[in-house]
Chain A
Amino acid sequence: DPKIIQKPKYLVAVTGSEKILICEQYLGHNAMYWYRQSAKKPLEFMFSYSYQKLMDNQTASSRFQPQSSKKNHLDLQITALKPDDSATYFCASSQDRVNYAEQFFGPGTRLTVL
């Protein structure tokens, strides 16, 4: 059974619209993360959460908003979508947000903005 679920697997959106990317982990982990992978930047750290609280934000734009409704959920809301937002977004988790803890990655959501 998959340990980290990301929905949907593929997503097509029009410029200016808003989408929510879903992430659920069943590893019992306390820390969750979002990363982005695009042609311009292979794998880029975006956010980290620990016990449902935002700990780090490396994203310059406020259009990206993580949301944690449950301990094992970390969704990513993206507003006013732009073609440059086209990328695969990976959710990850680790037991805790401690030094150098191994992170487990989900299968990704591939977003295309037209």
Chain B
Amino acid sequence: GDSVTQTEGQVALSEEDFLTIHCNYSASGYPALFWYVQYPGEGPQFLFRASRDKEKGSSRGFEATYDKGTTSFHLRKASVQESDSAVYYCALGDSNNRIFFGDGTQLVVKP
């Protein structure tokens, strides 16, 4: 079945560091790809989406580019802040609008 793999379970950075969280997907069709962010005690929040090859999604300084060739949708941010500390989920959406989430990456940003 369709699935998403996030390589990093946890990422620890200092403020102003560059962030990369790796996400690769496996799907039979042409899925949409998402990034969601979850803060403690809350539900996941939509960050952005891309639905076709080479499309870039972005929000709040975060960005990712849909790459069908490498089946990837890596999350990047040029300069992280302490307030970015949260769990980030890469996800895959199918044509029935079901979302399948990766295992999540805990981002810890130290001041």
Query: Taking A106-B43, A107-B42 as contacts, is the C-beta distance between A42 and B97 under 8 angstroms?
Result: no
- On whether the beta carbons of B97 and A100 are closer than 8 Å, the reply is yes
B51 is an interface residue with CB less than 8 A from chain A: yes
- On whether the beta carbons of B103 and A56 are closer than 8 Å, the reply is no
Q: Which residues of B are found within 8 Å of A104, using beta-carbon distances? A: 46
- On whether the beta carbons of B98 and A45 are closer than 8 Å, the reply is yes
- On whether the beta carbons of A99 and B97 are closer than 8 Å, the reply is yes
Contact of B99 (CB < 8 Å), options: A4, A42, A45: A45
- On whether the beta carbons of A43 and B44 are closer than 8 Å, the reply is yes
Number of A interface residues at 8 Å Cβ cutoff, please give it: 27
B16-24, B75-83, B88-96: which lies at the A interface?
A: B88-96
A48 is an interface residue with CB less than 8 A from chain B: yes
- On whether the beta carbons of A102 and B43 are closer than 8 Å, the reply is no
Contact of A42 (CB < 8 Å), options: B41, B89, B98: B89
Which residues between 43 and 101 of chain B lie within 8 Å of chain A, taking CB atoms?
A: 43-46, 49, 51, 89, 91, 93, 95-101
Q: Which residues of A are found within 8 Å of B89, using beta-carbon distances? A: 42-43
A13-21, A65-73, A89-97: which lies at the B interface?
A: A89-97
Q: A65 → chain B, closest Cβ, in Å?
A: 19
Q: A41 → chain B, closest Cβ, in Å?
A: 9
Which residues between 77 and 114 of chain A lie within 8 Å of chain B, taking CB atoms?
A: 90, 92, 94, 97-108
Q: Can you add 8 more A-B contacts, CB < 8 Å, to A42-B102, A43-B91?
A: A43-B44, A43-B104, A45-B100, A92-B43, A99-B95, A100-B51, A103-B46, A103-B99
Return 13 A-B CB contacts under 8 Å, by A number: A4-B43, A42-B102, A43-B44, A43-B104, A48-B96, A99-B95, A99-B97, A100-B49, A100-B93, A103-B97, A103-B99, A105-B44, A108-B43
**B interface residues with partner A (beta carbon < 8 Å):** 32, 41-46, 49, 51, 89, 91, 93, 95-104
